[in-house]
Amino acid sequence: MTKLSKILIGTGFLYASYHINNLVKEYKNFVLEDGYNLSDFGFEGGDEITRPKKKQQRKGNQQQLAESYLEELALLSQRGKNAFDKGDYKLAFQCFDRIVEISHEYPPFFQYARNANLFLVRIAQEADEPELFVKYNKAYIETFEDPKTEELFEIIKCTEEVTEKLTTLGSISEAIDFAKSILKNKKYSFSEIHKIHLYSILASIYKKNEKYLKKELDANLKCVEYAKNTGDKNAYANYLYELIQYYIRVKNVEKIEESMKEIEKLVSTQLLVPIFRLLCTNFKKNNMYDLYIKTQRKMITLVKKEPTLNKANIESVVNSCQNNIATILYEKGDVEESLKILNELKRSEYLSFAPLTETKYLISKEVSSADGVQKIVISVKPNSLPEDTTNIIECEFEGSYYLNEVAANEEPKAEEQEEQKPVEEEQKPVEEESKSVEQEEQEEKPVEEEQKPVEQEEQKPAEEEEQEEKSTEEESKPVEQEQEEQEQEQEKQEQEEKPVEEEKPAEEEKVVYEEVAPVVIEKTIEKEVEFENDSSKLNPTGWVISQLLNYTITINLNYFQPICKLSQCKPQNIN
């Protein structure tokens, strides 16, 4: 009986343990989905307490530990993601922090630390916690034990993010130290390409403080050196461009020109022109006007020598550069030369854009010509002019056009036809007279036939005399034939030369421009002033206006001395 009771008790205990274990698992699943009770995950005091209860080292074999940690990791991960989605960043931090702790408690799960730290970086970014962002990014970098090529680029990316955040926080020296520590870390096998990026990060940090100018130059030179060693021409040109940005800031024109010449050797004209345009933008910002003009003219020379560009593309770049040069010349005070360039520019048949101009006092914000209306909107720079209600802007629209080629060519033909008509009418009576003479000759033919027998008898003795004369004529024929042959050869040569003359390209006809009376509009200076001009009034005959129309804006203070003058152009093609 005792044995039976023991067996029953043991069986009941096992049965109860089995069901209790199932109940615990079901409860954990319930907590995962709906419970959200921190006490079930080792936290004291429920959801409100942020400090987790200290975990004791778990005892048991490796399999039991692994299963135990895996269950907790799954619950923490799910709970942390749910908290993040709901915007509960505090709880999300706690859950993923605990995952990092587990990865340290149980080394086989160390790989979970990388994903947890990466998620913590994301939470810190969303929660706008820059200090935590730096902390977890650094921890994420530390999870790379033996990084491969792609992982090295990931480390560089995180390094850049950390240094940018530290620089934003004002910790420039800390940012420099961290970037250097990554660069010198021996467990990272950085190639020259990797080092280019790291030295570029250092250069961008040094740029934040003028006291690091020398170190910034050294970092930029390192980038150029490593880029050159890689053999990648585009990378080399790119870091030369960055080096030029440094030289622009320190106004070292000699080094700028030296680096620009080096870039010219590396890239094609199609890539070089955009690079020079970007450089010109910085030249202008730093008041390096002479270098700006020189570079614009260099672009003109480059595109004219480029065989792969068509005429329209070349002229488009040339016109743009010429307009830029004219604008800078005006700002420098060389108004005469500026207007000279713009007046040449407006005659270009390839000018297919309306370049916006900026001067000391005005900015042309909008230039358009559509539906027969020319329009320009002028914005006055704030605080650039003295406060005076009598100040006015005077806008003068001037234009010139030439007749449509078809219409111009048809008129002379019509005049020629009218001149030829009287000559043809004079020839008609002469033709009629010649016809009457021919009819009389035909009527006389029968009479002539009757007289033939008599004439033949009379002509017999005369024929002998004619034969003698023929013999003398035959002797003189060779000389006459030679002359005729020479004349025929000359005629053939003239005929052969005629097509050649026709194939010669016709000389371009000089276009006669008909000047149109300018339209002058005056308006009081405001924040924005809009001028419009009805282009159709400039075209009363209905012919095509295919020449550019020019407008000039002059600011007069109290109707006296002109202070600012703009000259612009816009293409027209109006029926």
CATH number of the domain residue 282 falls in: 1.25.40
DSSP 8-state assignment for residue 556: E
- Quote the pLDDT of residue 228: 93
Residues 6+ apart with CB under 8 A from 314: 303, 304, 306
More confident residue, 451 or 337: 337
Give me the mean pLDDT over the 163-174 stretch. Answer: 91
Higher pLDDT, 421 or 221: 221
**Does residue 38 fall inside a structural domain?**
yes
Claim to verify: residue 142 and residue 189 sit in the same structural domain? yes
Structural domain boundaries enclosing 372: 359-405+512-570
Residue 299 has pLDDT above 70, yes or no: yes
Say if 437 falls within a structural domain: no
Choice between 468 and 121, residue whose per-residue pLDDT is larger: 121
pLDDT tens for residues 542-553?
A: 223 333 344 555
Contact 219, 206 (CB under 8 A): yes
Which residue in 575, 570, 531 sits closest to 548, CA to CA? 570
Asked whether the predicted pLDDT for residue 54 surpasses 70, the reply is no
Q: Does 532 or 474 have the greater pLDDT score?
A: 532
Residue 485 falls inside a structural domain: no
Query: Higher-confidence residue: 526 or 243?
Result: 243
Residue 560 has pLDDT above 60, yes or no: no
Cα-based distances in Å from 98 to 95, 101, 234, 288: 5, 5, 47, 58
Strand order in the sheet with 373-380: 362-370, 373-380, 528-534
Inside any domain, residue 11:
no
Count of structural domains, the chain: 3
Distance between CA 271 and CA 68 in Å, rounded? 61
Last residue within a domain, chosen from 334, 353, 372? 353
Query: Is residue 89 very low, low, confident or very high in pLDDT (cuts 50, 70, 90)?
Result: confident
Which pLDDT score, from 0 to 100, does residue 347 have?
Answer: 63
Between CA 167 and CA 206 the distance in angstroms is: 10
pLDDT, tens digit (0-9, with 9 covering 90-100), for 489-534: 777 666 665 544 445 555 555 544 455 556 667 776 666 777 676 6
Q: What pLDDT, in 10s, does the model give residues 429-457?
A: 545 555 554 555 455 544 444 444 444 44
Task: Identify the pLDDT of residue 313.
Answer: 80
Is the same domain home to 190 and 127? yes
Residue 13 included in any domain: no
User: Which is it for strands 514-524 and 528-534: parallel, antiparallel or unpaired?
Assistant: unpaired
Within this chain, do residues 294 and 199 fall inside the same structural domain, yes or no? no
Residue where a domain terminates, one of 261, 288, 308 = 261
Residue 338 has pLDDT above 80, yes or no: yes
* Residues 115, 76 contacting (CB under 8 angstroms): no
Q: What is the pLDDT of residue 537?
A: 47
State whether 385 and 337 are in the same domain.
no
Residue 107 lies in a domain: yes
Please indicate, yes or no, whether the overall pTM of this predicted structure exceeds 0.85.
Answer: no
Closest to 200 (Cα-Cα) out of 222, 231, 229: 222
